Amino acid sequence: MALPACAARALGPPLQPERRAPARTTCPRRHSRVEAELAASRPGSVAASVLAGPPRAPKGVFLPGGSRARRWDLGSLCRALLTRGLAALGHSLKHVLGAIFSKIFGPLASVGNMDEKSNKLLLALVMLFLFAVIVLQYVCPGTECQLLRLQAFSSPMPDPYRSEDESSARFVPRYNFSRGDLLRKVDFDIKGDDLIVFLHIQKTGGTTFGRHLVRNIQLEQPCECRVGQKKCTCHRPGKRETWLFSRFSTGWSCGLHADWTELTSCVPAVVDGKRDARLRPSRWRIFQILDAASKDRRGSPNTNPGANSPSSTKARNASKSGKNFHYITILRDPVSRYLSEWRHVQRGATWKASLHVCDGRPPTSEELPSCYTGDDWSGCPLKEFMDCPYNLANNRQVRMLSDLTLVGCYNLSVMPEKQRNKVLLESAKSNLKHMAFFGLTEFQRKTQYLFEKTFNMNFISPFTQYNTTRASSVEINEEIQKRIEGLNFLDMELYSYAKDLFLQRYQFMRQKEHQEARQKRQEQRKFLKGRFLQTHFQSQGQSQNPSQNPNLNANQNVTQNLIQNLTQNSSQNLSHKENRESQKQSTGQEQSDGNTSNGTNDYIGSVEKWR
């Protein structure tokens, strides 16, 4: 039924049914923006709140009542949370560090705006500390850091010659040697006619030392070594003559591993017969040279046992053309050398090319039988190696350093065995003592030092001590070691003699070096004192008037006389020292000089005290 018009106007417009939210058929972002605009336009309207829809929830979160909201980006949420958390942590850390800094440096905080400055300074210190830690870990990643060893700054530098060889600074000498035996100073003239002859004994480290001679010496004209070639060309400056007679310069010109008997007969003939010793003569030519040299020796009066005296040795060290030959060699502990040679023979070494020429001929098969029947002795056990009575490894160092002509070469029937061994040992000791230089494999740095002081030639790089060798890897019991020592009893005696002489020479040269340095400092102080007195009196003379000071001329005369005496004393000391050196070298250093220095007397006295 229709209502009257007045009643309809009074009641107002008819109520409309409640509308639901329309279906979201459009983009959710655009629709939500429209709803927000409607809600903002009618903030108090119920329909606006209805049209705005339920509140939105984060991604993956369900609202109460089972209605599900749209998902948010999880990565953006994590980044936002992490950023706000780090910001809060940094802010808290800033306040904590600021409080600590303010308590420590409180009195300084009153000057100006210290809060901001203190924070910057603290941050700079922290960053510097972190940078230092990073650099330290980069430079020294290990636990044993050289920078952290504070004792290296407090303790003095150790002696390289003592620490490298692990030997005591002082030892008890067993033999008495004269000053001429201990002092070895060769006036080696590389531009003249002097020649170094290297006697290379098997398995003594001679290969390494020979390479040092051609590749590691500071020379005006270094040896020319080509890649792929064992021999080097070692010419004198401005000449086409060699100054070195060794395996790596002239080759095996006198035979493979020629001994003292072969070298002393062959080298002068080879050098006199050929201007260029680099060319190796033929095998037949070597026999001719050695035969001619042996005939000359048999015809000379030096064929008796006294031929091994220092005078005859000095005569053999010079050739007809006036060349001076300086023999050098390297020795090794007999047990280690014997084991090393056994290992080398196991790998197939034979040294069949060795001539063993003595008295102009090689030994016969009866005089020197072979220990094996095949081509080599490879794979032989140690027992078999020791059981061969003709093994040349037994007492090899004594045999190669002695004059074999004194005992009839390799003919064992010339004299009894006991007498033969005694003559060989004494001959080897005498030849070793009168050599220009010898070194020991067990003392590499001391060997380098003595060679440099003897020949006044310096090496480029220092020698290296190898404590691990093939011989050291061989494990033997005490019984086998005693047997090896018994087979090499002559070498054991020679090595003990050589080690004693070697270490005494080293100590003598070191003390002589310290004494010369001390004397040089004293002379420099005297010279500076004289210059000071001279300038002092001259300045006084210029400031005063000669007419007012009648004693000025007398003072000047006294000053001049004092200066002249100081200079004359220093020059006389130097001249006396040079005269003693020249006289000692001209006499061959066989007799001890009566006017020895204080350092020599102290050393000889200390030797007597130790004994």
Q: How confident is the model at residue 157 (pLDDT cuts 50, 70, 90)?
A: very low
Give the least confident one: 8-22, 263-277, 352-366, 504-518.
8-22
Q: What is the pLDDT, as a whole number, of residue 203?
A: 95
Helix (H) or strand (E) holding 329: strand 324-331
> What is the SS3 assignment for 270?
helix
Q: How many CB atoms lie within 10 A of CB 325?
A: 20
3-state SS, 280-302, equals CCCHHHHHHHHHHHHHHHHHCHH
Q: What's the chain's average pLDDT?
A: 75
Could you give the strand order of the β-sheet that contains 194-199, starting from the edge strand earlier in sequence?
244-245, 194-199, 324-331, 437-440
CA distance 110 to 590: 89
Q: What is the pLDDT, as a whole number, of residue 507?
A: 93
Compute the CA torsion angle 206, 208, 211, 212 (nearest 10 deg).
Answer: -100
Burial of 143 (C-beta count, 10 Å sphere; 0-12/13-18/19+): exposed
Of 48, 22, 44, 28, whose CA–CA distance to 36 is shortest? Answer: 48
Joined together, the tokens standing for residue 470 give 């093939």
How does pLDDT run across 207-245, given as a tens digit for each residue? 999 999 999 999 999 999 998 888 999 999 999 999 999
Q: How confident is the model at residue 79 (pLDDT cuts 50, 70, 90)?
A: confident
Joined together, the tokens standing for residue 103 give 């308590």
Q: Could you tell me which residue, 360 or 45, shows the higher pLDDT?
A: 360
For residues 547-556, average pLDDT: 51
CA distance 361 to 284: 11
How does pLDDT run across 12-21, given as a tens digit for each residue? 555 454 455 4
DSSP output for 466-514 = ----TTTT----HHHHHHHHHHTHHHHHHHHHHHHHHHHHHHHHHHHHH
Q: How many CB atoms lie within 10 A of CB 488?
A: 23
Give the least confident one: 280-289, 318-327, 371-380.
280-289
Of 289, 237, 234, 233, whose CA–CA distance to 258 is shortest? Answer: 289
How does pLDDT run across 83-127, given as a tens digit for each residue? 787 777 777 777 777 777 666 655 544 544 555 666 777 778 888
Q: What is the pLDDT, as a whole number, of residue 319?
A: 58
For residues 540-550, average pLDDT: 57
Q: What is the pLDDT, as a whole number, of residue 156?
A: 44
Residue 212 annotated in active site:
no
Give the least confident one: 86-95, 140-149, 256-265, 396-405.
140-149
Q: How confident is the model at residue 497 (pLDDT cuts 50, 70, 90)?
A: very high
Q: What is the pLDDT, as a whole number, of residue 574?
A: 52
3-state SS, 420-461, equals HHHHHHHHHHHHHHHCCEEEECCCHHHHHHHHHHHHCCCECC
Which CA distances in Å does 48 have to 43, 194, 478? 7, 120, 110
**Which residue in the list 200, 257, 356, 434 is annotated as catalytic?**
257
pLDDT above 60 (res 356): yes
Helix (H) or strand (E) holding 523: helix 489-543
Q: State the first-to-last Cα distance of the chain, in angstroms, to the nearest integer.
A: 153
Residue located via tokens 């070692």: 234
For residues 539-559, average pLDDT: 56
Position 127, amino acid: M
CA distance 507 to 173: 11
pLDDT above 90 (res 328): yes
Q: What is the pLDDT, as a whole number, of residue 57?
A: 45
CA distance 156 to 168: 18
